[in-house]
Amino acid sequence: MNLEQRADLTRNTIVIAIVGVLIAACFWILAPFLPALIWASMIVIATWPLLLKVQEKVLGRRPAVMVMMGLLVLVFVIPFTLAVGTIVENAPQITALAKQVTNFDVPPPPDWVDGIPLVGSPVAEYWQNTADTDPGELARRLSPYARNVGSWLVAQAGSLGIIVVHFVVTLILTALLYMNGEGMATLVRRLAHRIADDRGENATVLAAKAVRAVAQGVVITALAQSILAGLGLAVIGVPYASLLTALVFMLTIAQIGAGPVLIPAVIWLFWKGSVGWGIAMLIWSALVMSMDGFLRPILIRRNANLPLLLIFAGVIGGLIAFGVIGLFIGPVLLTVCFTLLTAWIDEDKDDGDGEMAAALNEAE
């Protein structure tokens, strides 16, 4: 290696180090805003077609942005705020209810429980042992858990100020991205093209489609499930039906499902002796909870021409790895990797086909 090559290597190393430090410093400065920026980006990508339609109706970008922000507040912020506000307002009642839940008599198991295949006998035996336990002893065992659950709910709801600030920052960034969406999209596509040519740009487009598909599939399904679940809870007269409806929406967004709310409601009806309403609510709950199996795949498949298994693996894996925001990050990462891998494989195939064609021409 001559002196000029060494100088070039030293200069390139210094340039790479400086660029790396600058990138790390930028992420360090933007770290407090990154969660809100990621959420805002996902929201804008998912709702961009709707923004364009609204813009055609109201004849202007600024009025369209105002309409979209109003819709976001109506769909997301108001239900969540009402749910948290209800928890804070009824904090004493929740704590008292958590203590009362532990003070009840467990009835003996019905005869049909023992007839359940495989698990019937152990369940019936455990149920009978619990029923034979003194109510005071049972309350003493369950009291710490119920008290901890009630205290945790109140404590989580007590951080309302931080949640509101996070929502406000997300909404501000969403409005800014709505106003400058085309420019940001062009910048991202040019950057992807600069990094990986056409395959990088294609991966960016597919990633946006994946975000839009997952958002529409998850959010529309959650809205439908929460509306139907809330209707059923209101009809049967469950206390705090509005709070439970908002809780269903949050649970379905987080991919937990409506079961933790609807199944206790069904048990509560049978416990009260309302067998008819219990059976009706059981059928209604089964319909609501099964919507994940047919409505969400239809919506996701309609908006993204990608393998459904890839989307679901990204949704579940991202949720486990990154939390709720992983619902979108997971599919995006898998989509980008899948697109780059497919392009690389197809490129090798095209080269092989060209060599084979040349060899056949020479043979002829």
pLDDT tens per residue, range 190-228: 888 888 777 778 778 877 877 777 777 777 888 888 888
Q: Is residue 28 included in any domain, yes or no?
A: no
Q: Is residue 26 included in any domain, yes or no?
A: no
Mean pLDDT of 87-113: 59
Q: Is residue 4 included in any domain, yes or no?
A: no
Angle at 276 between CA 272 and CA 280, to 5 degrees: 110
Question: Are 206 and 140 members of one domain?
Answer: no
Confidence at residue 41, expressed as pLDDT on a 0 to 100 scale: 85
Least confident segment among 102-111, 221-230, 247-256, 306-315: 102-111
Confidence at residue 279, expressed as pLDDT on a 0 to 100 scale: 85
Residues 143, 13 contacting (CB under 8 angstroms): no
Mean pLDDT of 103-124: 67
Q: How confident is the model at residue 5 (pLDDT cuts 50, 70, 90)?
A: low
Q: How many domains does the structure of the chain reveal?
A: 2
Question: Are 211 and 168 members of one domain?
Answer: no
Q: Measured between alpha carbons, how far is 175 from 70 in angstroms, rounded to an integer?
A: 11
Q: How confident is the model at residue 360 (pLDDT cuts 50, 70, 90)?
A: very low
Contacts of residue 138, Cβ cutoff 8 Å, sequence gap at least 6: 102, 106, 130
Domain end marker among 180, 214, 246: 180
Phi, psi of 3, rounded to the nearest 5 degrees: -65, -35
Confidence at residue 112, expressed as pLDDT on a 0 to 100 scale: 64
Question: Are 339 and 215 members of one domain?
Answer: yes
Q: How confident is the model at residue 92 (pLDDT cuts 50, 70, 90)?
A: low
Between 258 and 307, residue with greater pLDDT: 258
Q: How confident is the model at residue 100 (pLDDT cuts 50, 70, 90)?
A: low
Q: Measured between alpha carbons, how far is 53 from 48 in angstroms, rounded to an integer?
A: 9
Tokens of 143: 């009291």
% the chain with pLDDT above 90 = 1
Tokens 């910048």 sit at which residue?
A: 187
Question: Are 50 and 154 members of one domain?
Answer: yes
Least confident segment among 45-49, 117-121, 135-139, 311-315: 135-139
Least confident segment among 4-8, 66-70, 134-138, 187-191: 134-138
Question: Are 139 and 219 members of one domain?
Answer: no
Question: Are 173 and 249 members of one domain?
Answer: no
Question: Are 233 and 100 members of one domain?
Answer: no
From 218, 214, 192, select the one nearest 336 (Cα to Cα): 192
Q: Is residue 361 included in any domain, yes or no?
A: no
Mean pLDDT of 80-85: 62
Question: Are 301 and 212 members of one domain?
Answer: yes
Least confident segment among 52-61, 112-121, 130-139, 311-320: 130-139
Q: Long-range contact list for 255-263, CB < 8 A, 24+ apart?
A: 255/218, 255/315, 255/316, 255/319, 255/327, 257/289, 257/292, 258/225, 258/226, 258/229, 258/285, 258/288, 258/289, 259/285, 259/289, 261/229, 261/233, 262/229, 262/232, 262/288, 262/289
Q: Measured between alpha carbons, how far is 146 from 153 in angstroms, rounded to an integer?
A: 11
Please tell me the pTM assigned to this model. Answer: 0.62
Confidence at residue 91, expressed as pLDDT on a 0 to 100 scale: 57
Domain end marker among 180, 210, 238: 180
Tokens of 103: 């003070």
Confidence at residue 185, expressed as pLDDT on a 0 to 100 scale: 84
Q: Measured between alpha carbons, how far is 254 from 326 in angstroms, rounded to an integer?
A: 10
Confidence at residue 356, expressed as pLDDT on a 0 to 100 scale: 44
Question: Are 169 and 43 members of one domain?
Answer: yes
Between 20 and 129, residue with greater pLDDT: 20
> Does residue 337 carry a pLDDT above 70?
yes
Q: Is residue 233 included in any domain, yes or no?
A: yes
Confidence at residue 21, expressed as pLDDT on a 0 to 100 scale: 92
Question: Are 126 and 226 members of one domain?
Answer: no
Domain that holds residue 314: 199-343
Question: Are 39 and 174 members of one domain?
Answer: yes
Mean pLDDT of 284-298: 82
Q: Is residue 88 included in any domain, yes or no?
A: yes
Q: Measured between alpha carbons, how far is 115 from 362 in angstroms, rounded to an integer?
A: 77
Q: Is residue 310 included in any domain, yes or no?
A: yes
Question: Are 174 and 203 members of one domain?
Answer: no
Q: Is residue 2 included in any domain, yes or no?
A: no
